[in-house]
Amino acid sequence: MHELGIMTGVMDAVEKSAREAGATQVLEVTLSVGEMTEAIEDALQFAFEVLSEGSDLSKGAKLTINMIPPKSKCLECGAIYTHDRFHMLCPECGSFATQLLEGRELQIDSIEVDLPDKGTENTEESASLGASSDRA
């Protein structure tokens, strides 16, 4: 399952950050996932539940996913438009010459953890997991 592989990488990064921060518990993880990654939101949630259930650090943590629709720029006429995974043609001029601007994101936006001394802290770090993003 594609999503299990993605979420395994996410959990590794989340737990590494949490440990480095001295956290005792991961409370909430927020991800941005581009639709062009072909990851299914429900499957990501399921993978997260399975993985967090098997981890003392992340057990009971909540996952929030922001799905990002694909957005492209037409290299012929300059139109910028959102589309789905299967329709990338420029809606203005019908050109195939397009450049994907958004939709391949796979990143951790925030990790909320429980710290024994300082209480709850929302980490500001943003970790990118390989997929490049050209967000304007």
Contacts with Zn ion by CB under 5 A lie at 74, 76-77, 79, 90, 92-93, 95
State in angstroms the smallest separation of the CB of 113 from Zn ion: 45
Q: What's the min distance (Å) between Cβ of 99 and Zn ion?
A: 11
- 1/97 with CB nearer Zn ion: 97
- CB contact at 8 A, 73 and 41: no
Smallest CA-to-CA distance from 114 within 24, 14, 16, 2 is with: 24
Q: Which is nearer to Zn ion, 12 or 92 (CB)?
A: 92
Rounded Cα distance, 82 and 94, in Å: 14
Q: How many CB atoms lie within 10 A of CB 119?
A: 7
What is the sign, positive or negative, of the torsion defined by CA atoms of 86, 91, 93, 99? Answer: negative
Q: Which is nearer to Zn ion, 76 or 125 (CB)?
A: 76
Rounded least distance, CB 93 to Zn ion, Å: 3
Nearest distance, CB of residue 111 and Zn ion, angstroms:
40
> Which residues are registered as beta bridge partners of 80?
73
Classify residue 99 as left (phi > 0), alpha (psi -120 to 50) or beta: beta
**Closer to Zn ion at the Cβ: 30 or 95?**
95
